[in-house]
Amino acid sequence: ASLRKKRIKKTKTVCTFCGVGCSFEVWTKGRKILKVQPSEGPVNGISTCIKGKFGWDFVNSKERLTKPLVRKNGEFVEVSWDEALDFVAENLLRIHKTYGPGSIGFISSSKTTNEENYLVQKMARQIFQTNDVDNCSRYCQSPATDGLIRTVGFGGDSGTIKDIEKAGLVIIVGANPAECHPVLATRVKRAHKLHGQKLIVADLRKNEMAERADIFLRPKQGTDQVWIMAVTKYIIDQGWHDEAFIQENVLNFEEYKQLLEKYTLDYAEEVTGIPKETLMQVAEMIRDADGTCVLWGMGVTQNTGGSHTSAAISNLLLATGNYRRPGAGAFPLRGHNNVQGACDMGSLPNMLPGYQRVTDEKAREKFENAYGTKIPSTPGRTNPEMLDAIMEGKMKAMYLVGEEMTLVDCNANHVDEVLSKLEFFVVQDVFFSRTAQYADVILPASPSLEKEGTFTNTERRVQRLYQVLPPLGESKPDWQILQLVAQRLGYDWNYSHPSEIFDEMASLTPIFSQANYDVLAGWGSFCWGSLDGKDTPLLYLDGFNFPDKKARFALDDWVEPVEYEGQFDCIINNGRMLEHFHEGNLTNKSTGIQSKVPEIFVEVSPELAKERGIEDGMFVRLVSPYGACKVKALVTDRVKGNELFLPMNSVSKDSAINFLTGPAADVNTKTPAYKQTKVRLEVLKDK
């Protein structure tokens, strides 16, 4: 028995399935995963959710890519790494030489490590002199980052999950943490049940947290900003705001009060449908709370006014003095495990690593000197702008790391058309994704269990992952693939371990200047947030992140939802399920999870079901101006009236939500307004 025990390897890693950042040991024997054992993780202690515990068998899936593939005469053919890399380098150089900077776009992934994200932006900027680099936070949390950067200076949670636990009041807007951030939600459930924490939930859908809430608000779709501003105005009118905090810390108060003039409770009731008495109760609860934390997700950000609503949340927290103290603050909930890190590492068209702007001459010069190249002084293209540029024939090639664009981007039929126009397309992924069908070359990458590196969770906490298993077949960690491509392109990248990439990044990035792999060893972790590079679990203790240390009230008016012409009378909301990872391209390969949740269904309200004669299990057809889906119905009072809910984890064209969504986008960040989708529902009588 002891011999057997000896062959069991225990390796610490960080979960790849959501932004909470649980860490645990994975017990393995050969390639077999015996169990997941949480114990000392700084975020989760002894907890995990079903995905963290049982979602890993995809790493041994027979569908894994294990050899590079090159398209020859329309067919993908397995080739050697040498041939694949030569093919990539030759074509990227040809396109760069022929069409110049701006002809190749780079999309990085929040499923890959910080070090890998750093290298993607380095490849774009150093080798191809372009800022056309972005990551999938564009599809989720960029509006939150925008709203926070404009008001308080940093695009991240202002405190840690411990602050959420300590708060007197938690307000959750447009998020479903019980399914999307389960371990974090457990902390709120416990504080609410055992420690008298109050809970307000605002959502279209009565999710599990809404069931538990002291107040559940059900605003009309796309109107959150109005009730938030009305509550802020009411608090100020009643004199319940924190005048001393505002005077000391915040600019623009008088202008902000003027902007709030029209956001009366009556106006809010008319626009949002929430009774004004309920909004008064919300204001009273904020007044009485010993610290308020606001958590928000895609229900806020994936709207035409996503960045404005995020700024309105931050304004409310500023007006009530809920920054710069424990148990309070702003908490955008990051979806993928490394959304925060992908942005921190500068995989963004307007930011170098550590949120140093490409327009900041000094910062740019520092990177130019380090990289020995010129970096454009203007921001590059966002993901959607890259798609536009491809359609216009200005962008000819794309290098895509770990992103399932054809299911995740809005208006998927359009994305199919765009990608088919690329002259050259490199896809680096763990599986043959739907997007990969458009590739010219596919480079097999390793998932998190097969690599070393760091991830940064929703609370800005950087943690190390250690290699649990060797890469399957000839697959390689993304950082090694990127390095091999850079070498083929004539650049002397020579990192022998991700720690060297991290050290290079930290040497150029003030907020990481005191972080390194020694600090992060074992269960160690580091929260960025101070310009002198210190561990900073609570942001802004020394003032807000502006030269004068003052925050700013953002003067953002409400952006009305898009209008739909024609007979589209149902709003279709979408989101994750507890068991599945986002678009499902990892958990759909897990037999354990797939057997528990084999299919998806559209949630239909009892009222609508009665009106249209819909029963559980009956097929319905959903038709939007951009496409159609056929999916089974589930009648539930989680949704109401003509609002529908479709989980986002289908990889089938028949039922994937983005074959319905359209091109509307957030006014500031171009994040698609996925939540503002309308459909016509047709009942197909067959079961």
Interface with ligand SF4 includes 462 (CB under 6 A)? no
Identify which range of 17-25, 244-252, 403-411, 479-487 contacts ligand SF4 by CB under 6 A.
Answer: 17-25
Instruction: Find out whether 469 and 70 touch, Cβ atoms under 8 Å.
Output: no
- Which of 59, 55, 46, 39 has its CA nearest to residue 448? 59
Q: Rounded to whole angstroms, what are the CA distances from 315 to 267, 311, 585? A: 19, 6, 37
User: Which residue, 303 or 458, has its beta carbon nearer to ligand SF4?
Assistant: 458
Interface with ligand SF4 includes 48 (CB under 6 A)? yes
Exposed / middle / buried, residue 75 (Cβ in 10 Å: 0-12, 13-18, 19+): exposed
Identify which range of 176-184, 303-311, 515-523, 640-648 contacts ligand SF4 by CB under 6 A.
Answer: 176-184
User: Which residue, 49 or 681, has its beta carbon nearer to ligand SF4?
Assistant: 49
Kindly compute the dihedral angle of the four CA atoms of residues 424, 427, 428, 433, in this order, to the nearest 10 degrees.
-170
Q: In whole angstroms, how close is the CB of 48 to ligand SF4 at the nearest point?
A: 4
Identify which range of 43-51, 107-115, 439-447, 559-567 contacts ligand SF4 by CB under 6 A.
Answer: 43-51
Size of the site for ligand SF4 (CB under 6 A): 14
Token pair for 52: 């963290």
User: Which residue, 44 or 668, has its beta carbon nearer to ligand SF4?
Assistant: 44
Scanning 289-360, the segments in alpha helix (DSSP H) are 298-301, 306-319, 339-344
Strand partners, 332: 296
- Which of 467, 472, 427 has its CA nearest to residue 448? 467
Q: In whole angstroms, how close is the CB of 182 to ligand SF4 at the nearest point?
A: 4
Interface with ligand SF4 includes 123 (CB under 6 A)? no
Q: In whole angstroms, how close is the CB of 183 to ligand SF4 at the nearest point?
A: 4
Interface with ligand SF4 includes 182 (CB under 6 A)? yes
User: Which residue, 52 or 471, has its beta carbon nearer to ligand SF4?
Assistant: 52
**Which 230-259 residues touch ligand SF4, going by CB under 6 A?**
none
Token pair for 587: 């958990």
Identify which range of 179-187, 284-292, 513-521, 562-570 contacts ligand SF4 by CB under 6 A.
Answer: 179-187
User: Which residue, 15 or 520, has its beta carbon nearer to ligand SF4?
Assistant: 15
Cα–Cα distance for residue pair 348/673, rounded to 1 Å = 19
Identify which range of 128-136, 181-189, 346-354, 394-402 contacts ligand SF4 by CB under 6 A.
Answer: 181-189
Interface with ligand SF4 includes 341 (CB under 6 A)? no
Q: Rounded to whole angstroms, what are the CA distances from 120 to 36, 189, 268, 558? A: 31, 39, 44, 36
Contact map string, positions 126 to 165, toward ligand SF4, x by CB under 6 A? ----------------------------------------
Token pair for 181: 């951030």
Interface with ligand SF4 includes 331 (CB under 6 A)? no
Interface with ligand SF4 includes 213 (CB under 6 A)? no
Identify which range of 18-26, 288-296, 467-475, 524-532 contacts ligand SF4 by CB under 6 A.
Answer: 18-26
Q: E strands, 507-566, where? A: 525-527, 551-552
Interface with ligand SF4 includes 20 (CB under 6 A)? yes
Scanning 382-511, the segments in alpha helix (DSSP H) are 383-391, 405-408, 412-419, 478-488, 498-508
Q: SS3 of 56, please?
A: coil
Radius of gyration of the chain (CA): 24
The residues of the shown chain that bind ligand SF4, judged by CB under 6 A, are 15, 17-18, 20-22, 44, 48-49, 51-52, 181-183
